[in-house]
Amino acid sequence: MQEQIGDKSKMIVKMGKYVGLFYVLCASIMFGSAFTLAKEPLRSINSLTLSSLVYLISGVCLLPTILRSPIRISRKKDIGTLLIIAILGAAVAPLLLFLGLEQTEPTDAAILINGEIIFTVIFAWLLFGEWSKDVRTIFSMILVVVGLGLATTDLRISETLFQYKPGNLMILMATVCWALDNNISRRFLQSTNIGPASLAMVKSLLGGSILL
């Protein structure tokens, strides 16, 4: 009987991993396609308006999460932290992304956005003393750095070192903002009773409103 229970538990855990991988794959496909899809609206809508609309719509779609995870803020400093998260992750970052996307190719943008991974790890190390010694993590970071190098230089390093590409720079600055947002949000979630979905909803509504 115990062996059967153990086998079922292992099966549930294994299925959970596959489901998680499926969700990550779906998110990656949707996120990657967003750059190509956003290129067309940017021809008729300015970056500020599009950034605001995207995050306001996202916030409205997440409103039902309040029913399952009510927002309770007991400390005044949490309000300031929430504003910082909203400004970085839902106002400045998306605005820089769309401004950069106006001046670069969607394929380059899709690669450059991976800079968020590198900057998130760097900030976690510099600000909170966290560093992963896992070989897979380090190898993944190396691949991301190589991809960023290819996207920004096209292997013409001597020609591109002295070229100023404002679009690429803006996208990289957006990833810096999102990396800070990731680290601050993680600590915020650990120290409050607010759930991730509720935080995303509040952040999106605040950021979208700021950009209006």
Mean pLDDT of the chain: 79
Q: Which is more confidently placed, 190 or 3?
A: 190
Q: If we measure between CA atoms, which residue out of 189, 190, 203, 17 comes closest to residue 93?
A: 203
pLDDT bucket at 45, cuts 50 / 70 / 90: confident
pLDDT (0 to 100) of residue 151: 63
Q: Give the lowest-confidence range in 29-38, 55-64, 105-114.
A: 29-38
Whose structure tokens read 């008729």? Answer: 44
Burial class (CB in 10 A: 0-12, 13-18, 19+), 72: exposed
In whole angstroms, give the CA distance from residue 50 to residue 66: 25
pLDDT bucket at 207, cuts 50 / 70 / 90: very high
Q: If we measure between CA atoms, which residue out of 202, 26, 172, 182 comes closest to residue 108?
A: 172
Q: How large is the average pLDDT for residues 81-99? A: 94
pLDDT bucket at 162, cuts 50 / 70 / 90: very low
> For residue 154, is it left (φ>0), alpha (ψ between -120 and 50) or beta?
left
pLDDT (0 to 100) of residue 191: 86
Q: At residue 138, does pLDDT exceed 70? A: yes
In whole angstroms, give the CA distance from residue 111 to residue 149: 10
What are the two backbone dihedrals, phi and then psi, of residue 102, each rounded to the nearest 5 degrees?
-65, -25
Please give the C-alpha separations between residue 22 and each of 9, 17, 26, 166, in angstroms, as whole numbers: 20, 9, 6, 35
Q: Which is more confidently placed, 173 or 105?
A: 173
Q: Which of 79-88, 157-166, 191-200 has the highest mean pLDDT?
A: 79-88
pLDDT (0 to 100) of residue 86: 95
Q: How large is the average pLDDT for residues 101-111? A: 81
HSE-CB at 38 with a 13 A cutoff on CA atoms is 29
In whole angstroms, give the CA distance from residue 45 to residue 23: 31
Q: Give the lowest-confidence range in 89-98, 132-141, 146-155.
A: 146-155
